[in-house]
Amino acid sequence: MQTDSSFTFVLFGGTGDLSMRKILPALFEAHRAGGMLADSGKIVAVARHASDRAEYIQWVNEHVKSHVSKNGVDETAWASFLARIEFINIDLSKAEDFVQLREVIEGLPGIRVFYLATGPSLFVPICRALASVGLNENARIVLEKPLGYDLKSSNAINDAVGEIFNEEQIYRIDHYLGKEPVQNLLALRFGNALFEPLWRREWVESIQITIAEELGVEARGDFYDNTGALRDMVQNHLLQLLSIVAMEPPHSMDSDSVRDEKLRVLRALKPIDPRDIGKVAVRGQYHSGVIRGNAVPAYATEPGVKPDSSTETFVALKVEIENWRWAGVPFFLRTGKRLADRVAEIVVNFRAVPHSALGASALRAGANRLVIRLQPNETIRLYCLAKQPGEGMNLASVHLDLAFDQFFREGQMEAYQRLLLDVINGRLALFVRRDEQEAAWRWVEPILNEWKASIKPPKPYASGTWGPAASSAMLAQHGTCWLEEEN
């Protein structure tokens, strides 16, 4: 991914956790790779927790360096990366301070990218302040999630930002869309004739999408208690992954062709009747337990969390898509904190053979399945049945691995690195369009409203388990179960 695109990358929230762990490390990796970032490109960090450039560079050395490469840092590359960085200390709530920002970046080259790694409450004030000093023209704005609290608040932010930036200038980021296996899912489906005939209701029994975390809310108790797993993970990450799994083949990989097909999936999601939410949606909250031999506290005792909180830390859903390809195929979505393992994966369970001359094992559910692992390791694995060595026709499960690290010797690109390069180079395909976001909010809103009005608390589950038993029971009603034995 070579580029000659000169740029000025302005990072609001330059000393925040996201900048420290993801954004600056991703920019460094692109810088170190050579040719991915134009030599003239500059990074301008905006923050209030440093007084000048020297203090900010010291902060970067102390906090960012440890998040870059697992194999150590090339000091020459690191020094040349630091040379790209400028710094300005301004108050983001004061529009008049943005005159200083304009003075700093007016002489810098290339396309201007404004990355808002801040709380959503600052999105609109920052955009308005940029416009007040003429910095919104011919620029790109990157918005982090969460973009709103519900459909109404999301529309309010989009309306306000849309008055300042055109839709083609707005990059709503969802880092799961930049992960290598998600890209390989597109290649697998649309680059091979082998899978497309099978990718439909006639041959697929069910699909599971799981994003599980071992961590709790950490130091974000106050934020999370006002958000919950449905808003934090389902409305964006899980529904975006579902739309890629289920989308029709686009006529090309340009941005609107891909996003048009994703939107059709989101608009085809079967609306959930509030009376049926108890049957197709499970919400849970973690209690104390043990993870990897360490005792961990209950959610209600986490700092910043209300002791009587009814916020969900776990969600499992049964989703249906009302279109010709997927009618009748259940999609099961699951996400949660303090679960038994850290894993993100997509499991496509194919139907059993219609009749087996080889015994009952050929008829069991999940005998043929495709597992796309997003984290912690990124792989694609196809399971099928084969004869065991020896006498008789005894079948056993075997698998084929797509081991990317063996086929491709160069290292895989991290999600944020790919997405930041796409912003700099003006590629929108992996970013969420406004109508996609609205369709996702519109679908989850009945669940949000029902849970808000409910007097029933979330179902408890012990930390270190796979969530409430009701989640497994929901799948059992369809003759299947969650895939939990993979490593």
Question: Domain coordinates of the chain in residue numbers?
Answer: 7-144, 177-414+428-476
**Quick one: pLDDT at residue 440?**
96
Flag whether pLDDT at 174 surpasses 50.
yes
Q: Which two tokens stand for residue 402?
A: 């797509």
Residues 263, 268, 272, 278: what is their CA dihedral angle, to the nearest 10 degrees? -90
pLDDT above 90 for 74: no
Q: What is the pLDDT of residue 1?
A: 47
Question: Which residue carries 């792989």 as its tokens?
Answer: 379
Task: Out of 55-69, 77-91, 179-193, pick the least confident.
Answer: 179-193
Distance CA 461, CA 441 (A): 27
Written as six digits, the tokens of 369 are 């399945």
Closest CA to 45 of 21, 24, 66, 76: 24
Q: Which helix (H) or strand (E) holds 121?
A: none
Average pLDDT, the chain: 91
State the pLDDT confidence band at 313, using cuts at 50, 70 and 90: very high
237 is a catalytic site residue: yes
Using pLDDT thresholds of 50, 70 and 90, give the confidence band for residue 484. Answer: confident
What is the rounded average pLDDT of the residues 259-274?
A: 96
Report how far residue 174's alpha carbon sits from residue 310's, in angstroms, rounded to the nearest whole number: 27
| Assigned CATH class of 177-414+428-476 | alpha beta
pLDDT at 365 over 80: no
Catalytic site residue from 31, 175, 237, 287: 237
Q: Decide if pLDDT at 312 tops 50.
A: yes
Between 63-72, 158-167, 434-443, the lowest mean confidence (pLDDT) is in 63-72
- Per-residue confidence at 384, pLDDT binned at 50, 70, 90? confident
Rounded Cα distance between 237 and 415, Å, is: 13
**Order of all β-strands in the sheet with 314-319:** 395-402, 379-387, 369-375, 343-350, 204-212, 331-336, 314-319, 281-287, 459-462
Given a cut of 60, whether residue 212 has pLDDT beyond it is: yes
Q: Are 44 and 56 in contact (CB under 8 A)?
A: no
State the CATH architecture for 7-144.
3-Layer(aba) Sandwich (3.40)
332 and 206 Cβ atoms separated by less than 8 Å: yes
pTM for this entry = 0.92
Six-digit token pair at 323? 């279109």
101 within 8 A of 131, measured Cβ to Cβ? no
CA distance 447 to 284: 14
The structure tokens 């740029």 sit at 7
- Give the model's pLDDT for residue 487: 47
